[in-house]
Amino acid sequence: MLSDIVALSFVWLFLFVTSLRSQSCVIDNRSLSTAWEQKLREELMSCDSRYQPPSINETVVKISFTLKSFYFENDEEIFTISSWVFLNWDDLRLTWNPDHYDGINEVILSSMKIWTPKLSHYSSSGEDEFDYIMSGCRITAKGRVTCIPRVVHQTVCSTKLTNWPYDTQNCTFEFGSKPGFDRAKFVLGSPRGIKMFGAEYGPGWTIVDFSKSESNDSKSVKFSFNFIVQREGVGLAALVIVPSLILSLITVMSMTLNVEDKIRLGMLCFGLLGQFIFLQEINSDLPKHSADTPTVLLYLRSSIVLTLLSIGITFVLTHLYTRCKPPPNFILTFNEKVFESYARYIIWPKWNTTGENKIGDDVNKILTAWIDFASIINFVSMSIIALTYIVMYTIYIPKKPDF
């Protein structure tokens, strides 16, 4: 019994000594450079004031943007940009001698472990700050810090739909620092401030112009980026402008038909109905976030008025065309002056009486006088309406702007 206890004691003693030896002989699989880098990180983060501003004076932070994508949302009123932000500044607390750390010249640290400047975005929806939580910062041995966070910001554009569907929108982003907050002064690191080469443009929109501005007042340092964004409205214009012009052409061409022909009145009524239906379709596709009235709607509204006027003229001419009473002398005199001058070559269409062999000469003369007068009135009305359409096309139909 005693021998068993002694043997068990030796076994436990052997296991205890073996465990102590194994703990003292842990194999370190890390490479030499990784070990030096880990040591460097630990020493850089040992500074208790690393979350405070680097200097009691202003720290100059160079900033530049690289646009990655943009798009409209919320009924094409909120403009959103996604970009990489390049930030550079010097922090003398984060310096080291590369010879003391196996020649390491730079190291990557999380932005949560060091001081980072606070840049605010000012927009109509409020103020927000950049988020560096998920970004890594590259630090050189001389204390040069470079952070490249990817950020998303929104702003409300001053939208105008006057030239819809070739409308352009003006969208401005303002950024600035808070005075006295972290003693950081932001300056643009490039003449343009933002690079847009290779950016993914939002569906249906193109950046056609860009400008920047800077201001340095007593309250804060601000700089702004202004984007001029144009709608890609070629396809939409084909669906809006072409039918409007075709409906206008129907109104003008119907004026060339004889008032005796019921097709004339039918074409005018068809064109009027088509304009009302088309106006409803445009209203369903038109953005609702602007108080401006697109000029193409003004064109359609005026076209409806001209079509109604053409219908009224058609009824009046039909009445004149079938009158059998002798016309007043001023009508006869007016007809003679027109048809005995060079104006007779431009009166078109010139209507004539039908069935002359079945009526007397006196009645035929009366009808001819009324028909000639109706032809003149129709030509003048058609010319005025056609000219009005040309003026309306020049004023109201939107054109693709040149940039």
What integer best gives the mean pLDDT of the chain?
82
What is the DSSP code string of 342-379?
Answer: GGGGT--S----S-GGGS-HHHHHHHHHHHHHHHHHHH
Which element (helix H / strand E) includes 41? Answer: helix 32-44
Structural domain spans, the chain: 39-232, 235-396
Over 50: is that where the pLDDT of 311 sits? yes
Least confident stretch, 21-25, 243-247, 397-401: 21-25
pLDDT band at 114 (very low <50, low <70, confident <90, very high): confident
Q: Is residue 28 pLDDT above 50, yes or no?
A: no
Give the model's pLDDT for residue 30. Answer: 45
- Six-digit token pair at 34? 């990784």
pLDDT at 26 over 50: no
At 42-51, the pLDDT tens digits run 888 887 777 7
pLDDT range class, residue 5, cuts 50, 70, 90: low
Q: Residue 342: which residues within 8 A CB-CB, separation 6 or more?
A: none
Residue 20 has pLDDT above 60, yes or no: no
More confident residue, 402 or 53: 53
Q: Is the pTM for the entire model greater than 0.85?
A: no
The rounded distance, in Å, linking the Cα atoms of 271 and 248 is 8
Backbone angles phi, psi at 66, to 5 degrees: -125, 110
At 132-173, the pLDDT tens digits run 556 789 999 999 999 988 888 888 887 788 888 888 888 888
The helix or strand, by DSSP H or E, that contains position 221, with its residue range, turns out to be: strand 221-231
Q: Which pLDDT band, with edges at 50, 70 and 90, does 33 fall under? A: low
pLDDT of residue 403: 58
Which region among 134-143, 247-256, 332-341 has the lowest average model confidence (pLDDT)?
A: 134-143
CA-based max dimension of the chain: 159
**C-beta separation of 67 from 79 below 8 A:** no
Work out the angle between the directed axes of helices 361-396 and 295-321 (0-180°, nearest 10).
180
**CATH T-level assignment (fold) for domain 39-232:** Acetylcholine Binding Protein; Chain: A, (2.70.170)
